Amino acid sequence: MYERVPTLRPSPSSLHEYIVERSTVNGAFEEFRFTVMGKGEFPWDMLRTDQAFPATTEDAFAMPKPLDEEGRRMLRAVTLVTRTNRAHWLPTFDRWRSFGWMVKTTAWEGR
């Protein structure tokens, strides 16, 4: 069962809370789930940087660059999971942003 990690912000000046959910796995690891959104080429290196993997098969299929022009312009969402032995973890927000992808914020909810 995932719980939302409250009030995580990449910087004190940030206006939005970022959605990162946490679940304990076998008492030894914490599993963090977060969603990134973007267009065009998925930043594959970010999987290594954040030690993440797709949460579902659908998320894995959403990662490759769409072949048609319309698909390349569409905003895509990919949910990722990171497992770590740290109780507190955050994705690398600025690095995602440098690739033109954003970690989903509460501002996206309901859209």
Helix H or strand E encompassing 103: strand 102-103
Q: What pLDDT shows up at residue 18?
A: 62
Alpha carbons within 13 A on the beta-carbon side of 58: 4
Give which of 2, 7, 32 is closest to 18, Cα–Cα. 7
Beta bridge partners of 34: 20, 80
Q: How many domains does the chain have?
A: 1
Q: Would you give per-residue pLDDT tens digits along the chain (111 residues)?
A: 555 655 455 444 455 556 777 777 777 788 888 999 998 889 999 999 999 999 999 999 988 877 677 767 788 899 999 988 887 788 888 899 999 999 986 543 433
Q: Mention every residue, 6+ apart, whose C-beta is less than 8 A from residue 88.
A: 5
Give the domain extent around 24.
3-108
